[in-house]
A and B are shown apart, each in its own frame.
Chain A
Amino acid sequence: MSDQVKLTIDGISVEVDPGTTILNAARQIGGDLVPPAMCYYSKLEGSGGKCRTCLVKVSKGSEKDPRPMPKLVASCRTTVMDGMEVQNLTSPEVIEARKGVVEMLLINHPLDCPICDQAGECDLQNLGYAHGASGTRYEFERRTFDKIDIGDKIQLHMTRCILCYRCVFTADQITNNRVHGILGRGDTSEISTYIEKAITNDFSGNVIDVCPVGALTDKTFRFTNRVWFTKPVDAHRNCPTCKGKVTLWYKGEDVIRVTGRKNHYGEVEDFICNTCRFEKKKTADWVIENPTPIERTSVISSNHYDTLIPLPVIQKNKVLIKANEEEFARTKKI
């Protein structure tokens, strides 16, 4: 344990391996003090450092050099030092800066959440809700693009893109040739596939999962339903190409969407292949595990009541069990 580094974040101390970033150290503590991240994705090498939402204040550099860092630092890119003291929620400077970053990200982002399929599970929506201002100070035209089809299953709507580069890293990681990248610089930069060339890779659908906003969307799910009317269920299948661990999104009896399993920070556990994502949309294809845990505050869990679980009084009484046989059968099915 001697080579572990000790640091405190918002007054809570934690010991981590040297070389860990502040963001990952904060994730080891968990809870509210974890800085939000729009571009950093733990499964993608080299991601992070672009969106600046994870800015934190380092009030003490290290044990050897206790001077504070002169500016706020991006926690996803800054590695920890022994004796470091980090302020996230306790620093008003950080909260103010994050509000500015959200305003900046929303400069060109269209406020079409009522139309966008990502609404309800969108990182930017959550971030804007938590930190953003209600009005905009931007007076110019927002940049707009035409929709582009990347293959026949994925649609790219560049207007909504916040240039986090996650999809670019995904494409780099899953393919040998570079097929997907960013063209142009600064204000004119855009995600492109070099003249709308289709990505044919088996894992190309994962760019939908990694996209923090609704720029890359599933064309098979497009506009079919709102995420808060669907019920997520964890399931798996014996897939030859991927691990086959997915989340099925049910509407009634039908699977209307298949995604990777996302954790607390919106990152998928395992990338899933396109066959699982786009083609296996029947309950018979899958082995159902259990309902996906959804945070109580999420809009997806609103209006979903677990009324089908019979009360403990009923579960013991034999007469009532017989009377509620139908109800019990339904519970079993779910």
Chain B
Amino acid sequence: MKSLTNKKKVLEQKPMSFWERLYLPAIFRGMAITFMHMFKKKETVFYPEVKREFSENWRGLHSLKRDEQGRERCTACGLCALACPAEAITMTAAERKKGEEHLYREEKYAAVYEINMLRCIFCGLCEEACPKEAIYLDGNIVESNYLRQNFIYGKDKLVEQLFKV
């Protein structure tokens, strides 16, 4: 049948020459390539001990930020949950009581804030949606675990540690 595209090439199988039949030159050429790689830079990273550097726009584990006085910035407005295409974020809001002004920045705060890391696709839309600059995906890789329930990260894992000046 005539080819439609004119790109068809007929393969001609010539009989092998004496050197080709020996196989040895091809084997030595292959060994030489293998040997050369011993002097090249190694690409392998020994992961838990050595960590590869993240790029600047890397998006990892979320962290809920505190302001300069150490108060939680999140006000449970729900915009991150609305923006989330994977519906990974849920929260429950509560009202700040008197005497809690040093804990929470706004009069409303997230009493419960959970991200399901199995649902999360690390797109960073929550970061973009946040009007209070409270959530950033500046963390590490999410740690592995055996149980699905352990991938639901609550405030205990997400909120940034208090820093002392």
Contact = CB atoms under 8 A, between A and B. Distances in A.
Contacts of B87: 303
A224 interface: yes
A299 B106 contact: no
Interface residues of A, number: 15
A278 interface: no
Interface in B66-92: 75-79, 81-82, 87
Contact of B82 (A113, A223, A224, A303): A303
B43 to A, nearest CB: 43
Given A115-B75, A223-B94, A224-B93, A229 B107 contact: no
Nearest to B132: A114
Contacts of B77: 113-115, 119, 226
Interface residues of B, number: 16
A302 B82 contact: yes
Nearest to A117: B108
Given A223-B95, A224-B93, A115 B106 contact: yes
B126 to A, nearest CB: 14
B41 to A, nearest CB: 48
A113 B82 CA distance: 15
A325 to B, nearest CB: 26
Contact of B93 (A119, A223, A228, A299): A223
B82 A222 contact: no
B15 to A, nearest CB: 61
A112 interface: yes
A299 B82 contact: yes
Contacts of A115: 75, 77, 106-108
Contacts of A113: 77, 131
A119 B78 CA distance: 11
Contact of A114 (B75, B81, B94, B95): B75
A119 B108 CA distance: 14
A114 B81 CA distance: 13
